Amino acid sequence: MLGLVWLGGVAHAAPKATKADCSKPAVRKARAEADKAVRAKEYPKAIALLEPVVRGCETEMSPTEHAWLAGDLAVAYDRNGQYSSANS
C-alpha cells in the first residue's frame, strides 16, 4: 500500500514504515537496551526501542513474551509522564 501526501498540489510518497526485527536475538537486545535506558532515566529512548517491537511483532511471539514487552513499554511511558501512547 502506497501512502501519498498532498503538498502544494504535488503528491509525495509517505515515509516507509520499517518493520521491526522480531527475531529472538533482536527482541532480547531491544529489551536489554531499553532496560539500560530506563535505569539511566532516558525514557523516550526506551519507548523508541520497545514501541516498534510491541506494535510490530505481536503475531510473531508468544502472548506471554508480548505481555512482558508491553509491560516494559508501559513502565517507560509511565515514568516519562505519559499515561498512554496517545499522549506522545
Does any domain span residue 10?
no
Tell me the CA distances in angstroms from 37 to 5, 7, 13, 72, 76, one per residue in order.
Answer: 34, 37, 33, 11, 9
What's the mean pLDDT in 22-44? 95
Please state the pTM of the whole predicted model.
0.71
CB of 65 closer than 8 Å to CB of 84: no
**How many structural domains is the chain composed of?**
1
Does any domain span residue 4?
no
Does any domain span residue 15?
no
Does any domain span residue 71?
yes
Domain hosting residue 48, numbered range: 20-87
Helix or strand run (H / E) with residue 12 = strand 10-13
Confidence at 86, pLDDT banded by 50, 70, 90: low
Is residue 85 predicted with pLDDT exceeding 70?
A: no
What's the mean pLDDT in 24-41? 95
CB of 36 closer than 8 Å to CB of 28: no
What's the mean pLDDT in 78-83? 89
Confidence at 20, pLDDT banded by 50, 70, 90: confident
Helix or strand run (H / E) with residue 68 = helix 63-79
